[in-house]
Amino acid sequence: MLGPMLGPMFAPIIGGALTMRWSWRSTQWFMVIYGWAVFLVMVFFMPETATNLEQNRCKIRNDTASPGKKPPIVITVYYTSIVFATYYLISVSIEDTFARPPYTWSSIIVGVAYIPGGLGLLVGAIIGGRWQDYIMVRTARKESRYDDKGELILHPVDRLGENCLIAGILFPGALVWWGWTAEKHMFWLIPLLGNFFYGIGGMILTNVTMTMLTEFTPKNSTIGVAVNNLVRNSLSCVSAIIAQPLFDAIGTGWSFTAIGLFCLLSGIPLIFLRIKRDEWSRQMKAVLENE
């Protein structure tokens, strides 16, 4: 998780510096050079294990088929994608807000404006992991779930507690905070504080959903992560495309009010996941055992 946290903090600063020194095209050349450098390092230094595709074809097909039989996976992928897509909306809005009057910041200073959101992600990652582990153990002890050896029986959905309730309100609330303070051109620290709290709430939720997703598919966790990456990146692409036309049409404030309300309502499936955790846990276990 270090890359997704450090990238949003430092990449805009690098991009701003390159744009000021040359032009925006230099950022594209930088990514081409950087991408090839990473690719060559992976080719020559990253070990790869060959897989028997023919032998695993049917098994993989069974793992990825019939998503309706695995509602917890559908819910976690959906919610993670929503959280991820909103980051791109805020990213477009930051540049759109601070590059214009009355701020009129330079490219590199606009890049610095992304740091509070990155710091929020870092704080959310630090407190979110331990928080969800504590809730998970507490729930299992409260329900007296022990195996024959006296060890706790933990379910993935046990991670859903007050952490997700607080973060599920903080995250969309911070979006509304950012939207209206940015539209009213308030002192720069005030909207950036909204980004900071958005990062905290978003990372707490992402940590929970991503961890649950890998636990829902213990035999092939990479498949669950791959499906999640496909959906969230596709949705993020759409959000990045519609962001600027949306802001121009109804304004930053109303845009993020609508987005925040949608994100708040998108958390409702997590409540059902928590309520029906016992039933769905049994169903998931039965499905996984038959695969």
Task: Give the angle subtended at the CA of 76 by the CAs of 165 and 65, to the nearest 5°.
Answer: 160
Both structure tokens of 38: 């990473």
- In eight-state DSSP terms, residue 152 is B
Give the pLDDT confidence score for residue 51 in this predicted structure: 57
Mean pLDDT value across the chain: 85
Give per-residue pLDDT as tens, 45-93: 877 655 555 455 555 455 544 554 578 888 899 999 999 999 999 999 9
Give the pLDDT confidence score for residue 31 in this predicted structure: 92
Mean predicted confidence (pLDDT) in 117-124:
91
Residues 17 and 31: their CA atoms lie apart, in Å, by 14
Residues 264 and 34: their CA atoms lie apart, in Å, by 37
For the whole model, what pTM was predicted? Answer: 0.85
Cis peptide bond prior to 102, omega within 30° of 0: yes
Give the pLDDT confidence score for residue 144 in this predicted structure: 85
More confident residue, 206 or 4: 206
pLDDT surpasses 60 at 40: yes
Residues 6 and 11: their CA atoms lie apart, in Å, by 8
Give the pLDDT confidence score for residue 68 in this predicted structure: 47
Give per-residue pLDDT as tens, 150-169: 888 888 888 888 999 999 99
Give the pLDDT confidence score for residue 52 in this predicted structure: 57
Given pLDDT bands bounded at 50, 70 and 90, which one contains residue 284? Answer: low
Taken in order of first residue, the domains within the chain and their CATH numbers are 73-290 (1.20.1250.20)
State how far the alpha carbon of 43 is from the alpha carbons of 31, 34, 35, 211, in Å: 18, 14, 12, 29
Give the pLDDT confidence score for residue 171 in this predicted structure: 93
Task: Give the angle subtended at the CA of 56 by the CAs of 53 and 60, to the nearest 5°.
Answer: 110
In contact, 119 and 199? CB cutoff 8 Å: yes
Both structure tokens of 282: 């049994």
List all residues 6 or more positions away from 197 whose beta carbon is below 8 Å from its beta carbon. 120, 170, 173, 174, 177
pLDDT surpasses 90 at 224: no
Give the pLDDT confidence score for residue 285 in this predicted structure: 61
Give per-residue pLDDT as tens, 5-39: 677 778 888 888 888 888 889 999 999 999 999 99
Torsion sign over Cα 281, 283, 285, 291: negative
List all residues 6 or more positions away from 123 whose beta carbon is below 8 Å from its beta carbon. 196, 199, 200, 203
**Among 6-15, 206-215, 251-260, 268-277, the range of highest mean pLDDT:** 251-260
Give per-residue pLDDT as tens, 180-199: 999 999 999 999 999 999 99
List all residues 6 or more positions away from 124 whose beta carbon is below 8 Å from its beta carbon. 167, 199, 200, 201, 202, 203, 204, 207
Displacement of CA 113 from its chain's centroid (Å):
20
